[in-house]
Amino acid sequence: MAEVGVSRYDEMILHVISATNEDALAWYQLESNDTSQLDELAKKYGLHAVHIEDCRAHSDRIKIDSMPGYIFVTLKPLHVVDDEIAESPLHIFVGRDFCITIGDVECAPVRDAMERAWRAGSDTPPAKLLYLILDTIVDAYFLTVDHLDDHIDLIEDDVLDDPSPKILESIFENKRQLINLRRIIVATRDVGMHLQRDSGDLVDASLYPFYRDTYDHLLRLADTVDTLRDLLNNTLDVYLSSVANRTNQVMKVLTVLSTIALPALVISGIYGMNLKGLPFLESDYGTLIVLGFMVLSTATLLVLLRRFHWL
């Protein structure tokens, strides 16, 4: 049975898994990249200075580099916090007898990945630990996609009931998140492809089916994100059509009201000029007769509009 030990460096915890004296696996789990322990590990295992700089630069770029003696991978786990998608970078160094992970365990996918890899046991090769971590993070992407899918369903319902500017804002916000999510998925997919083809001798051929399975998951995620983007584009078209139809309805009502009032306005305008010789100008019932003409012309116009199905 392998002996598991935990050593503490100040505030930092380094988990060390020892299998045998001849074949030892050391796993260091760091929660911060701004510590002297990272420099010590870089010196001990010959980690390239560029990769150490990448860890400390808080780079958003997902990447993988195969070096003599180890593989360096940067991943971007995603999780939903207060209905918003949050990112938390995870840096991994995998060698023949060591594994170094640098990430915030407060992030749920990072914590789940660490726990899954830890449960694998001390006899697990470092490349298999890398697969377990990558697969757990990819599984978390499905939760993020489902979260966006639920949001888009709500937007589709609201865009028909109340196409307000707030809906338009939600459409563009979700489109932005989908674009960012697809960028992350595609970059992670490239990592999976690299591990299958150009990982050197650190990844055993027996692990290729596992990495291919994760790669297939990423392909499916990319297709799902593309489908959601198409749905949002269609929703945007529906929103614009709804707003245009509503504007047309308003203009139709205003046009009908203006048309109905037109005869009365013409008659009142003529009699308002106080010209001599106008009919019924001297009659005691002139006002009533003119008002009658206004009502009659308006009623006639309403009948015509109704007959032409314009009302």
The backbone torsions φ and ψ at residue 57, rounded to the nearest 5 degrees and listed phi first, read -85, -5
Residues 136, 265: one domain?
A: no
The domain of 295 spans: 255-307
Q: Which residues contact 189 (CB under 8 A, 6 or more apart)?
A: 215, 218, 219, 222
Tell me how far apart the alpha carbons of residues 211 and 291 are, in angstroms, rounded to a whole number: 87
Dihedral through CA 25, CA 30, CA 34, CA 36, nearest 10? Answer: -40
Please tell me the pTM assigned to this model. Answer: 0.76
CATH at residue 27? 3.30.460.20
Look-up: residue for tokens 């999976």?
192
Residues 230, 274: one domain?
A: no
The answer, yes or no, to whether residue 15 has pLDDT greater than 70, is no
* pLDDT digits 0-9 by tens, 38-55: 888 999 999 999 998 888
Tell me how far apart the alpha carbons of residues 127 and 124 are, in angstroms, rounded to a whole number: 8
CATH at residue 298? 1.20.58
Tell me how far apart the alpha carbons of residues 191 and 197 are, in angstroms, rounded to a whole number: 10
List Cβ<8 Å contacts ≥24 apart for 287-290: none
The answer, yes or no, to whether residue 7 has pLDDT greater than 60, is no
For residue 248, is it within any domain?
no
The answer, yes or no, to whether residue 5 has pLDDT greater than 80, is no
CB 186 within 8 A of CB 61: no
Residues 154, 280: one domain?
A: no
Residues 141, 289: one domain?
A: no
Banded model confidence at residue 3, pLDDT cuts 50, 70, 90: very low
Single-letter residue type at 78: L
Instruction: State the Cα angle at 43 between 37 and 48, rounded to 5°.
Output: 105
Strand pairing report for 12-18 and 84-87: unpaired
For residue 191, is it within any domain?
yes
SS3 96: coil
In whole angstroms, what separates CA 291 from the centre of its chain?
Answer: 64
The answer, yes or no, to whether residue 309 has pLDDT greater than 80, is no
For residue 249, is it within any domain?
no
For residue 55, is it within any domain?
yes
The answer, yes or no, to whether residue 78 has pLDDT greater than 80, is yes
Residues 8, 149: one domain?
A: yes
Q: Beta-carbon neighbour count of residue 236 at 10 Å? A: 17
Residue ending a domain, among 213, 243, 273, is 243
Residues 231, 284: one domain?
A: no
Residues 208, 165: one domain?
A: yes
In whole angstroms, what separates CA 13 from the centre of its chain?
Answer: 33
Residues 203, 280: one domain?
A: no
DSSP line for 60-95 = ---EEEEETTEEEEEE--EEEETTEEEE--EEEEEE
Residues 44, 184: one domain?
A: yes
Residue ending a domain, among 215, 243, 271, is 243
Q: In the chain, which ranges are E strands?
A: 3-9, 12-18, 26-30, 63-67, 70-75, 78-81, 84-87, 90-95, 98-102
Least confident of 246-250, 280-284, 300-304: 280-284
Residues 101, 130: one domain?
A: yes
How much is the mean pLDDT over the chain? 83
Domain count, the chain: 2
For residue 250, is it within any domain?
no
* Cα 126 to Cα 50, 184, 202, distances in angstroms: 22, 24, 8
What's the rounded mean pLDDT across residues 268-289? 78
Residues 186, 296: one domain?
A: no
Residues 215, 274: one domain?
A: no
Residue ending a domain, among 243, 263, 290, is 243
